[in-house]
């Protein structure tokens, strides 16, 4: 998992509430358990005119020009701005896989579905809960300013706009540690690799019949 420290990122405004995981990555793409390759299918039904299937080359697929991800000024965005209850619906981990594979590292919204919120941290994405007033302001600023960027600093837990105004966000110490050091659950376990190895060696000596 890639560490997250700070980011100066272009903002993409997705002005919709209750965006569910089936909209984020439709069900037909859940056949693969690889974490990569889902980015081209992010928001597939909103993004393309035709119906997407796994393994399809998206290079020449017809685009819905009014969808925000298809607008040139938001190409390369790393911060997704959204409304209430983002990531609701089924608990598919493919949703944060698709978001991260597309290139988003931060999602800012007034609220998130609990399981999706947790899955973001496990996949190197920083989900930031901000008040409705702050999110409204960010949407207004994004609409008024081309190439609108935000600076997100995990160490200080702050988000700063181009005018220098900022707000702080909450994150648990454990999740902050994991993101700063790029540690998912496997990475956390491997931090104790030597202790685990020592335990296994002692266990083999103490109860050898278990290993016959």
Q: Reduced to 3 states, what is the DSSP secondary structure of residue 73?
A: helix
Q: Which domain holds residue 197?
A: 182-212
Q: For 187-205, what is each residue's pLDDT tens digit?
A: 666 666 677 777 777 778 7
Of 98-102, 113-117, 166-170, 181-185, minimum mean pLDDT range: 181-185
* Domain presence at residue 177: no
Torsion of CA 110, 66, 60, 18, to 10 degrees: 30
For residue 157, give both structure tokens.
């837990």
pTM, rounded to two decimals: 0.89
122 and 207 share one domain: no
- Across the range 95-121, mean pLDDT stands at 97
Number of separate domains in the chain: 2
Mean pLDDT of 140-167: 97
Token duo for residue 111: 């609220």
- Amino acid 38: pLDDT: 95
**DSSP notation for 105-146:** -EEEES-B-HHHHHHHHHTT-EEEE--HHHHHHHHHHHHHST
- How many CB atoms are closer than 10 A to CB 40? 18
Domain presence at residue 1:
no
How do residues 83-97 score in pLDDT, each as one tens digit? 999 999 988 899 999
From residue 164, alpha-carbon distances to 55, 62, 79, 92, 171 in Å are: 44, 39, 17, 37, 22
**Average confidence (pLDDT) over 15-41:** 92
Band (212; pLDDT cuts 50, 70, 90): confident
Res 186: pLDDT: 66
User: Are 196 and 138 found together in one domain?
Assistant: no
Give the pLDDT mean for 103-113: 98
Domain with residue 163: its CATH number is 3.20.19.10
Strand runs (DSSP E) across the chain, as ranges? 6-13, 79-81, 106-109, 126-129, 149-153, 158-160, 166-168
């Amino acid at each position: 998992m890639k560490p997250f420290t700070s980011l100066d990122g272009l903002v993409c405004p997705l002005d919709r509430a209750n965006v569910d995981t089936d909209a984020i990555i439709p069900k037909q793409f859940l056949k693969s358990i690889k974490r990569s390759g889902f980015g081209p299918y992010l928001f597939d039904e909103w993004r393309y005119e035709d119906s997407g299937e796994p393994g399809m080359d998206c290079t020449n697929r017809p685009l819905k020009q009014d969808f925000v991800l298809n607008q040139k000024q938001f190409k390369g965005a790393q911060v997704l701005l959204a409304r209430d209850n983002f990531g609701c619906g089924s608990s598919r981990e493919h949703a944060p896989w698709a978001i991260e594979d597309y290139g988003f590292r931060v999602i800012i919204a007034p609220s998130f579905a609990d399981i999706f919120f947790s899955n973001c941290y496990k996949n190197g994405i920083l989900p930031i809960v901000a008040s409705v007033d702050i999110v409204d302001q960010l949407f207004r600023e994004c609409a008024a300013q081309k190439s609108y960027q935000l600076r997100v600093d995990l160490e200080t837990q702050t988000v700063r706009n181009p005018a220098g105004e900022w707000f702080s966000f909450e994150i648990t110490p454990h999740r902050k540690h994991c993101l700063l050091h790029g540690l998912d659950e496997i990475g956390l376990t491997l931090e104790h690799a030597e202790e685990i190895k020592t335990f296994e060696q002692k266990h083999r000596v103490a109860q050898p019949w278990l290993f016959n």
